[in-house]
Structure 1
Amino acid sequence: MPKGICLVSSVATAIATGAIGQEVTATYSLYGTPGLLEMPTAQSAPENALAATFSYTEGLGQVTLTFQVNQRLSASFRYANVELFNDPPESGTEREVERGFDLQYRFNNETTYVPAIAVGLRDFLTPGRFQSEYVVASKSFGDNLIVTTGIGWGAMGTRDGFANPLGGDFEVRPTPDLPGGQLGSDQWFRGDAAIFGGVEYQINDRWGVKAEYSTIDYTETAFGVVRETESPVNYGLTYRPRPGVQLGLSYLYGTQLGVSGSFELNPNARATGSGLDKSPPPVKVRPADSLAAQSWDRTALPDRALRRALGGLLEIENITLTGLELTNTTARVRYINSSFRSEAQAAGRTARMMTQVMPPSIDTFILEPERRGIPISAITISRRDIEQLENRAGGTAAMLDRSGFGDAGGSQGLDAVASDENAFSWGLGPYFRINPFSNDGSVDVDLGLSLRGVYRIRPNLVLSGAIEQSVVPPEDDPTGVERTPDIQNVRSDGSLYGNDGVPVLANLTLNQFSRPGTNLYGRVSVGYLERMFGGVSGELLWKPVESSFGLGIEVNQVAQRDTDMGFGFDEYDYDVTTGHVSAYYDLGNGYHTQLDVGRYLAGDWGATVSVDREFDNGWVIGAYVTQTDMSYEDFGSGSYNKGVQVTIPQDFFTGTTTRGSYGNTFRTRVGDGGARLQVDGRLYDVVREGHLPDLSDTWGRFWR
């Protein structure tokens, strides 16, 4: 056994005698995953935890996002800034940004005699400098000590390695082709293997110590980082000043220090608890002697008075009444929810307000939420159910079960309510963009101010635009931006747009939304659709309210804008027809999938697969992969696009009702292959919040 592992074992024995009854929880490694320092453990973070880890050691800085998908599966996305090895050393150093994805799956929960066991893939999508595979076991002793050992391949098998125990075809690991960008499955679990291990001891709630035997040899030229490694044993100290924050200090390889910080958020652990929403008004229960009423006196209580009264009550909730149809027994209400993230909560507030003013004979409420000027569904509710179930145990589930869901009705019979809101609105705020380029991995940052305006010509016909002023502009011609002579630079010239130091027109579009038929939704957008392209975009979506499945088609005829982001299209003289057929499916439990097949901006044909996990409180964490028929040479570094998307609702932090959110997409590259037009108001995102699958997920907020 290597002497480093013997040392780690000795440390474990010594520390075990000092256990003081503190529960051991997972900490984050320098690689941003639950682990020791460089080596993984079989521990898992709390389910649904999202952690951002920043770490730095000489020659290697890393930023990692890790998401605990469920109790056993975790996924990570990493940017690693690597100092490249040059031979001879006198030629100086270069830096390159590596992007990597990790997966780890834990097979079992730890028991009294059996450790937790996990298998993992590090940097697995593209053969990279840190690509590794491993099987690891972790066992706790007492309440504050955990011991880990495992076997690693790839980068984790480069120190003190031995012949692959799997034998046969697994004995030889193919040489990775780093620029190729193809899935490196032919290397998984192949080549030499090595045994790693370590211990972690939690001194108290805040302080912990670690020791590990690392099997990563950074003197291998494939890593680019060349270090003097006097010892394979690493030591670390962790400090948790508050829940969700971990700071670390490491002593590595016997020669240098490392620092790290991990910051964890969990959609299931909001700082404001269940929220700071103002209490809803109680349901007004009709007197028993009025339940048999078949009509009401419209002379004493005319329709217009009811419209005015209901509109005023809904305004208190920041809900805008846009239409009302009344019969002797039914009230159909159309409204815009401008406040509540959940359409189920807006429906509940609307129904409560209706009980305050509607005549006793009205026993059926039909609620039609409206987005972008079009109704997106109809929710039919019995007034008796509202009165009986408000404070009953199990009332939420019973209310969902007894309600009806279907396509919204037409405008016939609906009395439109004129809005008192100004047709024009505007706002000024910051913007922040990160563009990872494709050749040497450089990352371009653009920070500035955005002035946005919206003019509502009609509820479903809107003129909108934005003027931006960059404060920290992108470089004019950043090193590493890949320009392909045979492929139009539809994205790789992105840093040239808006870098003149003057305000630019980011977009200016006229958008019309429509309901061409039952279960059908339409959109037409005309103008300067995004920073780099302008033209016409048309979309048609078929999406039944009660179905988990939707199907859409989008066709765009666009031309590339001039880099000064004015009104011209002359600089590139490039136009293209692009579009996709899209299939959407709600898998349930907050999982959404999307498949887009079609033609991209550079004329390449291919497909994009997206998977999102949306939590009941509005968090969205997802990933996507795009593959096209563009050749590897033209596509550039990485033969396919992949990325991670994170959206966090503002009310998660404020606790108060708002539809705002913070979001970003972390891509591996921004190149010309697999580039899709950026259009505001794609229909599936507009309508699905009012459909049954989404309403069911957040129906718990109906009574809030």
Structure 2
Amino acid sequence: MVLLSGVAAVCLWPIQAGAEDPFTAPLAPSHNLYGMPGLIDMPTADMSPDAQLTTTVGHFAGTTRASLSFQILPRLTGSFRYSALAGYVPDNYDLSTYYDRSFDLRYQLVEEGDLRPAIAVGLRDFIGTGLYGGEYIVATKGIGDKLRVTAGLGWGRLGSHGSIGSTGTRPSELLGEGGIPTYDRWFRGDVAPFGGISYQVTERLAVSAEYSSDAYEPERGISPISEYGNTEPALFDRKSSLNFGIDYRFKNGNQLSVYSLYGDTIGAQLTLSTNPRYANTPTGLEKAPAPIIPRQRASLNDLGWSTDDTQINSAKRTLRAALEGDGLAYQNLSLSPREATLQIRNPRYSAEPQAIGRAARQMARVLPASVEVFHIIPTSKGMPLANITIKRSDLEALEHAPAEALLERVAVTDAAGLGLGQEAGLPARSSLSLAPYLTFSVFDPDNPIRIDTGLRLSGSYFVTPGLELSGSVTHKLAGNLDSVTREIPSNLPRVRTDYAEYSRQGDTAIEHLTLSHFGRPGKDLYSRVTAGYLETMYAGISGEVLWKPVDSRLALGAEVNHVKQRDFDQKFGLREYETTTGHLSAYYDFGNGFHGQVDAGRYLAGDIGATFSLDREFSNGWRIGAYATFTDVSAEEYGEGSFDKGIRLTIPMSWALGKPSRRDNTVTLQSLTRDGGARVNVRDRLYQRVRDYHQPELNKEWGRVWR
């Protein structure tokens, strides 16, 4: 819960609302106390704008709910919720606050029309303990510009008060471990109506009223929770089915809501929203690109320079300086009378076409007039990723035309065997940085979030363009990860659940120390070998091969790791546990920003299975996704949560700053840290490094080629 609030405050940078501004997102509807578009406690059929990301924190009657919801598709919403019920102490439960994790889904079956209402179907807490489990069908219709009316039918919690019938028998017990879909009870049991209205008083102020079909039996101490039995005293007394609310929307689109609930208590909620599709700040704050100067026709056939080493070396020096001024790293240049091949590294621009465009502009300004064909080879870790061919005459003719016109004339081919290496005399690439760090653990019932923070000293040195020595050392300044006292039961080798011991003994720790080699073993093939202290818990050797044609949506990979567990103090010592892991991976770009990944193989605890991931990516670098791992470890062996799963967000710095940057921040909300389905955290896996300069990725951001 605290983590979600932190993500909202730090990462979900609110943007100005107003659909008429191309840089800002349209307004999102009000969200209910479950973090989904709704009235107060009840759902509506409304949808947020496509890609809207919303976090809510609400509280009433000892219950605090924090949620993170995402508009996955224009008509599909997903939500993760973490709830804390203070004073809710079931039998045989040894804590004063009960914590619960749950997931929701809603799909809009029918969009609202002039006469017809929007109709949606939803699943609440469909993967969890079932504490909040319920399903519904709901319709919402606007009447005029200010009034919206909602009516629906609910099952489970939403069918527990005022039942008008039944659709079979619904299991009533809750799932102690949670994490398993509760499909055996969907749309079964008592069914009850609910409904309400909302009225937009002013642009900022709205009021709402609803009739609730949730009896709140667990919170009132009159129904069992899991195997623990009943709980007393009740958190509140449900005196009425009517709820009333006031919503105030701030100028930036965020919202504060205050409620009168069930005739007995009051509640409040803060809603923060942002949309990755819209810019947080004005873009294009970087300096303008160099103009393209058309060549004089009389100079096109002047080849005298081609035999003059002085002119060639001068052109290389001038081009190198020009590229560095644009934030690009010059690596080498090969010149012939009619063609030039430039090898570069892009440390600045998150939009790769912008780097290609700036490199091409500088080539057109610097190189002799007879050079007509430009080959630009971007590299990563010394690997040539693609050969991007552009005719100089096309640059001259199309500089002020739409970017798509140039794209039609650009060729992107494989660069295997075309790499130029690093030009003699250039300094070896190296880096050294000192920065703060933060690590965290979430969802421990003794303390929902634990954090360590301190300083990280990181460095790298490239012995050759494809051979990197890198490492990092951390020193903890403050934190409470080492305060974990609850014994985490495990029937598996303790490959991850000793994380508290690593924090307790690793105040000053070698986070990683590795030697890595990256290469191009053949056409469409990429390779990586990493040896050393791979991560905080494991040392060993890791090898990976990736097959990725430049024009393919599909990529295939294989990875093998032989590792040994590190000592808790994270110095140079090793423990006894040793294992070999390996995975075969398939990556696919489905289009519309959706990327899927399947990794099948052997995990750290020796379990066999597969991890399924789906991410939605945006052209500005935002990435939002989820993953789930299923292995031959049973739900009982795995423990609480039943299987490994999580949600992840990547927020690019360029989106927040309005200036080019390849830096980003990734936050992963993992259900729980357990030993099943755990992988080695190896740096620099190949797919993310390779695909940026391939199709269809280049096409998605090609509009920035002239920027």
Same fold per superposition (TM over 0.5): yes
Q: Structure 1 residue 498: deviation in Å?
A: 2.3
**1:367-378 correspondence to structure 2 within 5 Å:** 367-378=376-387
The code of the aligned residue for 1:112 comes to D
Q: Does 1:636 align with 2:639?
A: yes
Task: Name 2:409's counterpart in structure 1.
Answer: 402
Residue of structure 1 aligned with 2:577, choices 571, 574, 577: 574
**1:61-210 correspondence to structure 2 within 5 Å:** 61-83=64-86, 85-86=88-89, 94-164=96-166, 167=167, 170-173=168-171, 175-179=173-177, 181-210=179-208
The code of the aligned residue for 2:475 comes to Q
CA distance in 1, matches of 2:91, 2:612: 44
Q: Does 1:544 align with 2:549?
A: yes
Does 170-179 or 379-388 show the bigger shift? Answer: 170-179
Number of aligned pairs? 671
Q: RMSD over aligned Cα, in angstroms?
A: 2.3
CA distance in 1, matches of 2:410, 2:82: 48
Does 58-67 or 614-623 show the bigger shift? Answer: 58-67
Deviation string 1:33-54 (CA, Å, 9 cap, x unpaired) is 1111111111111111111111
Note closer, same or farther for the CA distance 1:248–1:218 as it changes in structure 2 (3 Å cut): same
Deviation string 1:127-171 (CA, Å, 9 cap, x unpaired) is 42111111111111121221111111112112222322xx4xx44
Kindly indicate whether the alpha-carbon contact (under 8 Å) linking 2:162 and 2:192 is maintained by their aligned counterparts in 1. Answer: yes
Kindly indicate whether the alpha-carbon contact (under 8 Å) linking 1:319 and 1:338 is maintained by their aligned counterparts in 2. Answer: yes
**1:477-488 correspondence to structure 2 within 5 Å:** 478=484, 480-484=486-490, 486-488=491-493
CA distance in 1, matches of 2:301, 2:480: 70
Kindly indicate whether the alpha-carbon contact (under 8 Å) linking 1:438 and 1:637 is maintained by their aligned counterparts in 2. Answer: no
Deviation string 1:91-125 (CA, Å, 9 cap, x unpaired) is 98632332221111112221222111111111112
Kindly indicate whether the alpha-carbon contact (under 8 Å) linking 2:481 and 2:503 is maintained by their aligned counterparts in 1. Answer: no
Task: Name 2:522's counterpart in structure 1.
Answer: 517
CA distance in 1, matches of 2:480, 2:522: 45
Q: Does 1:42 align with 2:45?
A: yes
Note closer, same or farther for the CA distance 1:92–1:380 as it changes in structure 2 (3 Å cut): closer
**1:315-354 correspondence to structure 2 within 5 Å:** 315-354=324-363
Residue of structure 2 aligned with 1:391, choices 397, 400, 407: 400
Task: Name 1:664's counterpart in structure 2.
Answer: 667
The code of the aligned residue for 1:407 comes to D
CA distance in 2, matches of 1:503, 1:648: 29
CA distance in 2, matches of 1:413, 1:178: 60
**1:398-547 correspondence to structure 2 within 5 Å:** 398-410=405-417, 416=423, 418-420=425-427, 423-436=429-442, 442-476=448-482, 478=484, 480-484=486-490, 486-500=491-505, 502-547=507-552
Does 220-229 or 601-610 show the bigger shift? Answer: 220-229
Q: Percent identity?
A: 41
Task: Name 1:690's counterpart in structure 2.
Answer: 693
Residue of structure 2 aligned with 1:604, choices 582, 603, 607: 607
Note closer, same or farther for the CA distance 1:397–1:599 as it changes in structure 2 (3 Å cut): same
Note closer, same or farther for the CA distance 1:382–1:423 as it changes in structure 2 (3 Å cut): closer
Q: Structure 1 residue 698: deviation in Å?
A: 0.9
CA distance in 2, matches of 1:43, 1:688: 37
Residue of structure 1 aligned with 2:261, choices 252, 260, 263: 252
Note closer, same or farther for the CA distance 1:417–1:692 as it changes in structure 2 (3 Å cut): farther
Question: 3-state SS of the aligned residue for 2:355?
Answer: helix
Q: Does 1:283 align with 2:286?
A: no
Deviation string 1:438-463 (CA, Å, 9 cap, x unpaired) is 78894433333322222222222112
CA distance in 1, matches of 2:194, 2:297: 75
Deviation string 1:259-279 (CA, Å, 9 cap, x unpaired) is 211111112221323432221
Does 220-229 or 249-258 show the bigger shift? Answer: 220-229
Deviation string 1:233-275 (CA, Å, 9 cap, x unpaired) is 1222211222231111222122222221111111222132343
Q: Structure 1 residue 177: deviation in Å?
A: 2.6
Kindly indicate whether the alpha-carbon contact (under 8 Å) linking 2:348 and 2:662 is maintained by their aligned counterparts in 1. Answer: yes
Q: Structure 1 residue 467: deviation in Å?
A: 1.7
Question: 3-state SS of the aligned residue for 2:250?
Answer: strand
Deviation string 1:283-329 (CA, Å, 9 cap, x unpaired) is 12112333455674532863211111110100011101101111111
Question: 3-state SS of the aligned residue for 1:686?
Answer: helix
Q: Structure 1 residue 183: deviation in Å?
A: 1.8
Kindly indicate whether the alpha-carbon contact (under 8 Å) linking 2:173 and 2:224 is maintained by their aligned counterparts in 1. Answer: no
Note closer, same or farther for the CA distance 1:412–1:205 as it changes in structure 2 (3 Å cut): closer
Task: Name 2:36's counterpart in structure 1.
Answer: 33
CA distance in 2, matches of 1:581, 1:230: 58
CA distance in 2, matches of 1:301, 1:590: 48
Kindly indicate whether the alpha-carbon contact (under 8 Å) linking 1:437 and 1:492 is maintained by their aligned counterparts in 2. Answer: no
Task: Name 2:15's counterpart in structure 1.
Answer: none
CA distance in 1, matches of 2:91, 2:690: 60
The code of the aligned residue for 2:678 comes to A
Q: Does 1:565 align with 2:570?
A: yes
The code of the aligned residue for 2:649 comes to V
Deviation string 1:592-637 (CA, Å, 9 cap, x unpaired) is 1100000111110110011111101111011111101012221011
The code of the aligned residue for 2:626 comes to A
Structure 2: 5+ residue stretches without partners = 1-25, 226-230
Question: 3-state SS of the aligned residue for 1:695?
Answer: helix
The code of the aligned residue for 2:414 comes to D
CA distance in 1, matches of 2:172, 2:265: 32
Deviation string 1:18-63 (CA, Å, 9 cap, x unpaired) is xxxxx99511112111111111111111111111111122332122
Task: Name 1:9's counterpart in structure 2.
Answer: none
Q: Structure 1 residue 174: deviation in Å?
A: 5.8
CA distance in 1, matches of 2:416, 2:541: 29
Kindly indicate whether the alpha-carbon contact (under 8 Å) linking 2:179 and 2:641 is maintained by their aligned counterparts in 1. Answer: yes
Question: 3-state SS of the aligned residue for 2:681?
Answer: coil
Which TM-score applies when normalising by structure 2? 0.90
Kindly indicate whether the alpha-carbon contact (under 8 Å) linking 1:200 and 1:210 is maintained by their aligned counterparts in 2. Answer: yes
Note closer, same or farther for the CA distance 1:495–1:244 as it changes in structure 2 (3 Å cut): farther
Task: Name 2:246's counterpart in structure 1.
Answer: 237
CA distance in 2, matches of 1:97, 1:364: 63
CA distance in 2, matches of 1:412, 1:655: 33
